Amino acid sequence: MDWSKQSKEARTWFESLRDRICAEFEAIEREAGSDAAFDYIAWDRETHEGEGDESDGGGGVRGVMKGKVFEKVGVNVSTVSGKFSEKFAEQVNGASPENPDFTATGISLVAHMANPHVPAVHMNTRFLTTQSAWFGGGADLNPPIEYAEDTEAFHARLRAACSAHNPTYYERFKKWADDYFFIPHRGVARGVGGIFYDHLECDDTVTFDRHFAFTKDVGEAFLDAFPAIVRKRMGMEWSDEEKAAQKEWRGRYVEFNLVYDRGTLFGLKTGGNIDAILMSLPPEVTWG
């Protein structure tokens, strides 16, 4: 099946979600007395040997803001296509050395906050096609200082989004997040979890519409839940010791993203923009 129409539809949605998220984050900065705004930088994907000189590998837009509340937040939208390397094709759903073609469109967000009482957060949703087509994504909360009510509010909103589509989704995808966002060499979780899902297969337009509707609701749940937590915590005072603990906690985040994260690997293996791929790294970090 030719998924180009569906890929364009997904891309349009991801771009609209990006615009609304960035507007909301800028509004929070205004409430804090800051005029910080996103800088947007367009980039083109680097094509690889064997893809042809005329290959259009696509690209994306990297948006970054550094402000009073958001010490560093990146919101990226990309739409790329091409051929996987022979070795990497063997690791991707629906791809093979004989059929290495792919397209991918998605949004990816990571926010590192100035106040250690405000949790960092990650969210991404995506649509990929190889010989298969599927949705994936999720969101997870990463507080240096955990507040149980914030964790519950975040999970409750994701639970509601999942339950509207399938009664099994939340428990399945929460466990997937718990298992995935874990740092084996440290023996600790990266944060307090959320949901993570992948390979929601699209066999036809009916299943595409169903999984796309769920993916959109994940984006809406994030936009509803996270800004509310930020506004609740961003005015709290913090100590030097709490800031130091935040920076050390960020080191764990860096270790996960550079060692284990599949999205980082996918970007590096497909000629993505290096700054966009590594926008998840915090501006200041320490290791004890």
Catalytic residues: 122
SS3 of the chain: helix, strand, coil, percent, to 5: 45, 25, 30
DSSP 66-95: --SSEEEEEEEEEEEEEE--HHHHTTSTT-
Residue 137, phi-psi category: left (phi > 0), alpha (psi -120 to 50), beta (remainder): left
Q: What is the DSSP letter of 279?
A: G
State how far the Cα of 220 lies from the Cα of 232, in Å rounded to an integer: 19
State how far the Cα of 180 lies from the Cα of 191, in Å rounded to an integer: 11
Strand-pairing partners, residue 122, are 110, 140
The two structure tokens encoding residue 136? 């994936």
State how far the Cα of 79 lies from the Cα of 128, in Å rounded to an integer: 10
Judge whether 222 and 141 are in contact, CB under 8 Å: no
Q: How far is CA 70 from the centre of its chain?
A: 16
Q: Which residue has the tokens 């005072």?
A: 237
